[in-house]
Amino acid sequence: MIRALRRIGIGLAALVAIGCFALVIGGPGLLKALQPGDGAGVAGVPIGGPFTLTDARTGARVTDANYRGQWMLVYFGYTFCPDVCPTDLQKMVAALTAMGPAADRITPIFITVDPARDNAAVLARYVGLFSPRLVGLTGSAAQVDAVTAAYRVYVQKVPPASPGAPYLVNHSAFMYLMSPKGKLAAIFPADATAQDLARQMAKDTATPAAS
């Protein structure tokens, strides 16, 4: 994984979308900590886990168990994001397209960190702009808090600059590849290219996950 991250080209560790303007934080220490295995995540803290949310397109209640047997490529963000989220989602879709039929085993999922604005209708329209395959998940504030906590996603609402102006939401911008058994298989940094993602995911998902 460390090799993979290096190959993908992050010399620096973590990209956080500050109001969706990318800012590099962290350092080599955090890079070293990004080692999956047995579901362990950053510094041995598990990443991922059970969630209950709503599929924006169907309105159906879904849980992580709905996606067992498939790989999940999970990204957190919000539809009002001016820059980073749309760029990353385009990249996710481009990577899956580049993989061809091998991508059929991967379900790309966009989970909102801003459920107050991203209701099912808003989110369904948004994910549809990227791909019919991209799943949009929203939920109550408590449900979203639970899933962002499980994935250790940094989320911070930014007060608007002036009264009545729209707020932004700072959030970390990683892509999480989860195995068919729901365990963390890889974390991809936001600055990975679509080609790098495609190559790495083809390799990571080539064999049924043991974990």
Any idea how long the chain is? Answer: 211
Do strands 106-112 and 135-138 pair parallel, antiparallel, or not at all (unpaired)? parallel
First to last CA, the chain: 15
User: b/e string for 126-164 if b means 16 or more Cβ within 10 A?
Assistant: bbeebbeebbbbbbeeebbebbbeebbbbbeeeeeeeee
Task: Decide if residue 93 touches Ni ion (CB under 5 A).
Answer: no
Question: If binding is defined by CB under 5 A, does position 14 make contact with Ni ion?
Answer: no
Contact map string, positions 31 to 70, toward Ni ion, x by CB under 5 A: ----------------------------------------
Q: Is 84 among the residues that bind Ni ion (CB under 5 A)? A: yes
Selected from 81, 92, 99, 177, the binder of Ni ion by CB under 5 A is 81
Cα distance between residue 73 and residue 187, in whole Å = 9
186 binds Ni ion (CB under 5 A): no
Using Cβ positions, the residue closest to Ni ion within the complex turns out to be 81
Give the interface size with Ni ion as a residue count (CB under 5 A).
6
Instruction: Identify which of residues 81 and 99 has a Cβ nearer to Ni ion in the complex.
Output: 81
Chain positions contacting Ni ion, by CB under 5 A: 17, 20, 77, 81, 84-85
